[in-house]
Amino acid sequence: MIAFASSQRSVLMAMLATVSLVACALQGRRLDSPIYRDLSGWMTDTTLPPVFCARETRLHKVAPADFDGLRGVMALEDIAAGEEILAIPARFALDLGTSSTDPLAAAEKLCVERIADQYTLERPAYFATLPPPGSADLCTPEFFDEEVLAELRQWPPLLEAAQRRRAAVAASSLATDEAEQATLLW
């Protein structure tokens, strides 16, 4: 067994994280479907009024990618330390609030924004790229089926947190049926 001092352990962890990121980047498969092309096109379309597009958007160094069923971004070129990776103007961000540590309030706000967008069409390309309920991207305990969730009995705090979150979603005023509950968990 090898013992490391605290600072050596930090350096080692940073090195392992870097190696893991590099390994993932090499295994990623670029997602180039129409929904991702639409998102990129919408974010960089200079023919739209500025409120609907981002002339300052810079996405050329990364691309959406699939990493064994999970989505993320992969580098398309070498990126030096401290170099800008991508730029997306703040007006494209959804303000989901910061007044609560409970993610349910943000999930409810996201659902409201998603429904409103069906009428305003401000972010249709963005919402089209979000994972649907049941997607492999939704891999936190709140999304586990009952059989898998039961296996968390070995770690009661995690099981209790997942059950609390599910109960809060079920009690939400926005969750009137099972499909809406799944959307809030999403």
d(C-alpha 157, C-alpha 128), whole Å: 34
Q: Taking residues 5-22, report their average pLDDT.
A: 43
Q: Taking residues 12-18, report their average pLDDT.
A: 44
Q: What are the residues whose beta carbons fall under 8 Å from the beta carbon of 167, sequence distance 6 or more?
A: none
Structure confidence by residue, pLDDT tens digits, 120-132: 777 788 888 887 7
Structure confidence by residue, pLDDT tens digits, 120-163: 777 788 888 887 766 777 767 777 778 888 888 888 888 888 88
- Sketch the domain layout of the chain as residue ranges: 6-75, 94-185
pTM: predicted TM-score of the whole model, two decimal places: 0.56
24, pLDDT greater than 90: no
Structure confidence by residue, pLDDT tens digits, 50-93: 665 666 778 889 988 988 888 888 999 999 999 999 888 777 77
Task: Tell the residue number behind the tokens 């891999």, with chain if given.
Answer: 139
Residue type at 164 in one-letter notation = R
Q: Taking residues 4-16, report their average pLDDT.
A: 41
pLDDT score of 41: 82
d(C-alpha 84, C-alpha 40), whole Å: 18
104, pLDDT greater than 60: yes
